[in-house]
Amino acid sequence: KPVLFFRGAGKGLIVSAPVARQIATLHGSETDNWPGKRVALFAEDVEAFGKTHRVVRVKPLVPPEPEKPEPAAPALTDAAEIEDHEIDAEDEIPLGLDDE
């Protein structure tokens, strides 16, 4: 039977059919692509042959939530150039409304 070794673990894991299927579901069936992939291992009790056995199962490793960056200030676009001219206080101020 194939054996998987994990970084930082002293022992290997004999790959049962259920474990192989779980990893293949997560990372594809090509075992040459599995090195470097991350999984979470957990124990599960199963009934088999009239006895309860503790087995190793695999599930996706949930990465920690990335820190959300502060929202950036909206970028200024199409900035208008201010014209330099005298303003008479009696002049009407154009509002750009269509109904005038």
* Residue 37 belongs to domain spanning: 3-60
Q: What is the pLDDT of residue 66?
A: 74
Q: What is the pLDDT of residue 19?
A: 92
Q: Is the pTM of this model over 0.75?
A: no
- Whether residue 81 lies inside any domain: the answer is no
- Whether residue 15 lies inside any domain: the answer is yes
- Whether residue 100 lies inside any domain: the answer is no
CA distance 100 to 97: 6
Q: What is the pLDDT of residue 91?
A: 64
Q: What is the pLDDT of residue 72?
A: 75
- Whether residue 35 lies inside any domain: the answer is yes
Predicted confidence (pLDDT) per residue in 34-60, tens digit: 998 989 999 999 998 999 999 999 999
User: Residue 51 corresponds to which tokens in the numbers above?
Assistant: 């006895």
Predicted confidence (pLDDT) per residue in 79-97, tens digit: 555 555 566 666 666 665 5
Predicted confidence (pLDDT) per residue in 68-80, tens digit: 777 777 666 555 5
Cα distances from 4 to residues 44, 47, 59, 70, 98, in angstroms, run 18, 24, 15, 41, 74
Q: What is the pLDDT of residue 8?
A: 83
- Whether residue 28 lies inside any domain: the answer is yes
Predicted confidence (pLDDT) per residue in 17-27, tens digit: 999 999 999 99
Q: What is the pLDDT of residue 22?
A: 93
- Whether residue 79 lies inside any domain: the answer is no
Neighbours of 58 (CB within 10 A): 22
- Whether residue 97 lies inside any domain: the answer is no
Q: How many domains does the chain have?
A: 1
